[in-house]
Amino acid sequence: MKRKPFYKVLYVQVLFAIAAGVLLGHFAPHEAVALKPLGDMFIKLVRMIIGPVIFCTVVTGIAGMQDMKKVGRVGGKALLYFEVASTLALAIGLVAAHVLKPGSGFNVDPATLDASAVSSYAAQAAHGDGIVAFVMHAIPDTFAGAMTQGDILPVLVIAMLFGSALAVLGDKAAPVTNLVETLSKAFFRIVHMITSLAPIGAFGAMAFTIGRYGIVSLLPMLKLIGSFYLTAALFVAIVLGLIARMCGFSLWRFLVYIRDELLIVLGTSTSEAALPQLMEKLERLGCPRGVVGLVVPTGYSFNLDGTNIYMTLAVLFLAQATNTHLTVTQEITLLLVTMLTSKGSTGVTGAGFITLAASLSVVPTVPVAAMVLILGIDRFMSECRALTNIVGNGVASIVVSAWEGGLDRDALAAALGRRANDSTDPHFETTAPAQNTDIEKA
């Protein structure tokens, strides 16, 4: 098939849109701020389709397994990976804060800070704390409510129950399973339609961010921003790179493979904006549908590496900036607390800041009012959190697929060996992803 002109390739369009948004936000901030609805509308369109996509993917994946032991095994391996990766990310954030010392020299007196600007975040954190509250939130009130509220976990719970029921029924449920597979194809076609609007959404979101906060607002906090971006980059390159190598694939080639999704996340500051596209590409990469359906949605609450790095790094930054000394015991306590509070986070914009407030409220040595120091720049760190999160969840799906023996190595090698404008690029596709439902398929 004939290759598309470069200006029709999605990642090129998104890249130009981001650049145009930055320029407009800098030179015409008032007009740029008015473009916020463009980004909001794109994100709402994506969130509209996330529920049905996750539901269909999980249901057909579990129904295709026809063995509940496999479902439990995949879930157990995924949670094990999530916990190890999350703990590493949290620990690396602590180490980076000690080495780089981004908060040294600020000498801020906590008594002079106005906590009113962050009071709403602290209130949201207080209402969202607790394992019981987290579990209750994951259980939907009604079947329809799970689909309409836009939260991932309730949809995942409903889909797992429905898929398990179809698997138990076996051949009797074949008509329903086939119907869900057909619906899945339709929903993924809608995803393609929405994705074509990504340049508009990225342009509006980036223009608003630069116009609202301004590039000048970054200057006092460049050391913190640079420390966070450097730490996240090292985590991706070293930790995820080593994991990818052990699993038998190139992380760099994988990043090139999901470049469209990365640029969409960069432009919108939320990893949810690329969730449906990521799931589709992972299936095309050779991951079984059942694994993708379980690992990716669950990872959006349990495997947010970027958010984990941010939390420990930010807490120590605030401690250093306010000259608050933390003992080794307090830092270990912080690590344990953030291991819990990070599990309630989601892939939406601002969730990392709310989770940070929850962590500080449990470790009161560092004043919550100090969060006002990073309130103005949190949006600029949100992009890095979201990018690291989506890469981490993509790697997790491939790793769990390999552990389970269901990774199609031929498809993996073919997908990661393709060039940018190859005819197998998703924008050349006219059909939904292959229905790789058998988790044992190699």
Residue pLDDT, tens place only, 51-83: 898 899 889 888 877 677 888 888 899 999 999
- Distance from C-alpha of 399 to C-alpha of 385, rounded to nearest angstrom: 21
Give the domain 6-428 fold: Proton glutamate symport protein (1.10.3860)
**What sections of 214-322 are H helices per DSSP?**
222-234, 241-247, 251-257, 259-268, 275-285, 289-302, 305-321
Q: Tokens in use for 329?
A: 């015991």
* Per-residue confidence (pLDDT) for residue 108, from 0 to 100: 79
Q: Tokens in use for 391?
A: 């890469």
> In this model, does residue 350 exceed pLDDT 70?
no
In this structure, of 304-313, 395-404, 406-415, 424-433, the range with the lowest mean pLDDT score is 424-433
Q: Tokens in use for 293?
A: 């359906």
Query: What angle separates helix 275-285 from helix 289-302, to the nearest 10 degrees?
Result: 140
* Per-residue confidence (pLDDT) for residue 436, from 0 to 100: 46
Residue type, 50: I
Q: How would you label 8-39 residue by residue, b for 16+ Cβ within 10 Å and e otherwise?
A: ebbbbbbbebbeebbebbeeebeebbebbebb
Burial of 57 (0-12, 13-18, 19+ CB in 10 A): buried
* Per-residue confidence (pLDDT) for residue 118, from 0 to 100: 57
Distance of CA 135 to the CA centre of its chain: 20
Task: Pick the more confident residue, 234 or 433.
Answer: 234
In this structure, of 224-228, 404-408, 424-428, the range with the lowest mean pLDDT score is 424-428
* Per-residue confidence (pLDDT) for residue 35, from 0 to 100: 93
* Per-residue confidence (pLDDT) for residue 423, from 0 to 100: 36
* Per-residue confidence (pLDDT) for residue 312, from 0 to 100: 92
* Per-residue confidence (pLDDT) for residue 432, from 0 to 100: 41
Task: Convert the pLDDT of each residue in 5-15 to its tens digit.
Answer: 777 788 889 98
* Per-residue confidence (pLDDT) for residue 253, from 0 to 100: 96
> In this model, does residue 379 exceed pLDDT 60?
yes
Domain-wise residue ranges, the chain: 6-428
- Distance from C-alpha of 270 to C-alpha of 214, rounded to nearest angstrom: 20
Q: Which of 255, 208, 195, 199 is nearest to 18 (CA)?
A: 199
Our CA angle for 58, 63, 64, nearest 5°, is 100
Q: Return the percentage of the chain with pLDDT > 70, whole number.
A: 84
Give the pTM. Answer: 0.78
Answer whether 59's CB lies under 8 Å from 163's CB. Answer: yes
HSE at residue 156, side-chain half, CA atoms within 13 A, is 19
Task: Pick the more confident residue, 430 or 57.
Answer: 57
> In this model, does residue 244 exceed pLDDT 80?
yes
Cβ neighbours for 248, distance < 8 A, ≥ 6 positions apart: 402, 409, 412
In this structure, of 88-97, 110-119, 271-280, 409-418, the range with the lowest mean pLDDT score is 110-119
HSE at residue 360, side-chain half, CA atoms within 13 A, is 29
pLDDT band at 435 (very low <50, low <70, confident <90, very high): very low
The mean pLDDT of 356-369, rounded to a whole number, is 74
> In this model, does residue 425 exceed pLDDT 70?
no
Please give the biggest Cα pair distance in the chain: 69
Q: Is the dihedral of CA 91, 372, 337, 80 positive or negative?
A: negative
- Distance from C-alpha of 32 to C-alpha of 205, rounded to nearest angstrom: 9
Q: Report the mean per-residue pLDDT for the chain.
A: 83
Q: Which of 380, 370, 383 is nearest to 317 (CA)?
A: 370
Q: How would you label 223-250 residue by residue, b for 16+ Cβ within 10 Å and e otherwise?
A: bbbebbbebbeebbeebbbebbeebebe
